Structure 1
């Protein structure tokens, strides 16, 4: 059901209020069905905070802004707050679940990305971020092929963590942890036979990894690594992912989150205008819960924080939308937040 009908301004306001209420609730309490997400509580906070920003509704948490900022900082791993601190363990943990002094208490690059992005959105000055420790820690997450692992004691490496490390480096304005030549090589070697990007070299193309690859190249100012032929075939692969919404892989059902992953990938290569914007927006709106708010993975499914946020982000890519803040595709935060980050970078340079 497309709820945006005749009185569009009024319907937009209803949409904003309903989903702002849902995202605010996600910051306060989640149902027991989401208990498995407790270890990565920081990601839920990021989805809610950034979603409220895109809805231009950060005012609904204004009274809690400082306490949220302080809570995020409480999740930072500092040399002085864990007896198990060691090489590569700095950064932000996902939640206080393990607790300090737990042998596996350590920073995670995905959680660090969420923490830094959330702090920027909330207008923090990042002065309490241990930048040097985080960047030095990233060096210990780096593998010989230029890819990264999420935590130092795991061996899993793929494009998601390359992206997280690229965003951390960009936000902190320090690229010393990334071996640019090797990382670019890892990304380009993941360009597949069917002309998308896989999670690693030799794996199938996927909408999420395609976004992560292109966003990482964009943040490193390396999109020129793609030839005209590769860009053309990549554009075709992404456009073929649209049915009404977008699918992540061929022969899969459309899924709300890929409206951002694939849509943003097209945005980064200047091809977003080729999609059917209205059809995509109608699919996203069909997934919303008209009572509780929130967006789901598919129509008639239960909403969740991730799909709510990525659905909003997918809609915010539309340059003609006038009720959501525009999203900066490479960082997946609002252009307004990026303006604040640019000011921080300028202040750091002049200090």
Structure 2
């Protein structure tokens, strides 16, 4: 049969979404040993696997990767302090520990690692005030406040943490525009908004948030192209399809952005020849933007292909979050937001 006679669906193209191309792109990432980018991003290896696996799950193609090989590799990245590095032999960091746990949860093998050691590692990074560092070197950020709480919630150990300190740190990072920064006094940024909202959702303290003001600030992140930016006066970027929409989902205000125009922007950032999604049209695709672009399509209700529903707090498919007992955060959302 000629290409002309082949339908879009037979090519794996659904409503402009190049499903088969994206699957093949993700599968190829661990085979590019002749490219400098492969070696320059060694420290991101475990997060790269997480991003790729989330995208494949949303596309309904999670079995395309070698499950046993990935599980073995992830376990090899755990250090004696209980945390995980971005690659075997790398220092532990909360970012990579979170990615490792998410991978193991998606494969339903979290019980294969020592949870007590991970809990101890996370607790060791919180100081007396309740603020949390990403690693032993002491950098503090609202990202780490969220990640620490999220990791502990996987093991039902949030009550072992100084949650009052975390909540106060997040509250002090809230700005006059309703947004949140990376720390008290930091500029509001969409990614930090997500981390703070997600932390408050798990903690049951969304009452701190100015819902209307924050929803308005997030809705203003949509530009004429349909894409979203991270803060005022910046370019649109496909990854903010996740950071902005996940926050609006928690707030119950996804409908405050034009979702059709956003989907069109994400689709325009695809590499239609080699697969993957870039930050914006014409740029080079990468697995990070591929993951969060597809997450954005899921949150926006893209209906040309049966994408799995994504949980806006844990950035994993809803069905997996439910299996892991992680959807209790929804009970903490004020009734008037639903």
Maintained 8 Å contact 1:135/1:169: yes
| Alignment length (residue pairs) | 315
Gap change, CA 1:285 and 1:320, over 3 Å in 2 = closer
Maintained 8 Å contact 2:22/2:275: yes
Return the alpha-carbon distance in structure 2 between the equivalents of residues 41 and 277 of structure 1: 32
Return the alpha-carbon distance in structure 2 between the equivalents of residues 197 and 291 of structure 1: 38
- How many Å apart are 1:7 and its aligned residue? 6.6
Alignment of 1:214-233 (within 5 A): 214-226=197-209, 230-233=210-213
1:85 aligned residue: none
TM score, norm. by length of structure 1: 0.85
1:248 aligned residue: 230
Extract unaligned runs of 5+ from structure 2: 1-6, 329-338
Maintained 8 Å contact 1:26/1:48: no
Return the alpha-carbon distance in structure 1 between the equivalents of residues 300 and 153 of structure 2: 24
Provide the secondary structure at the position in 1 that maps to 2:18. Answer: helix
Return the alpha-carbon distance in structure 2 between the equivalents of residues 159 and 314 of structure 1: 22
Maintained 8 Å contact 1:166/1:219: yes
Q: Does 1:278 align with 2:281?
A: no
Return the alpha-carbon distance in structure 1 between the equivalents of residues 77 and 46 of structure 2: 9
- How many Å apart are 1:275 and its aligned residue? 1.1
1:334 aligned residue: 317
Gap change, CA 1:8 and 1:219, over 3 Å in 2 = farther
Maintained 8 Å contact 2:60/2:307: yes
Q: Does 1:171 align with 2:154?
A: yes
Q: CA RMSD in A?
A: 2.1
Extract unaligned runs of 5+ from structure 1: 1-5, 79-88, 100-104, 346-351
1:289 aligned residue: 271
2:291 aligned residue: 309
Alignment of 1:249-264 (within 5 A): 249-264=231-246
Return the alpha-carbon distance in structure 1 between the equivalents of residues 200 and 317 of structure 2: 19
CA deviations over 1:163-203 (Å, ceiling 9, x no partner): 21121011122114421111111111111122210010111
- How many Å apart are 1:93 and its aligned residue? 1.3
TM score, norm. by length of structure 2: 0.88
1:83 aligned residue: none
CA deviations over 1:116-144 (Å, ceiling 9, x no partner): 101111232x1222111111111111123
Among 83, 87, 93, the alignment partner of 1:95 is: 87
1:3 aligned residue: none
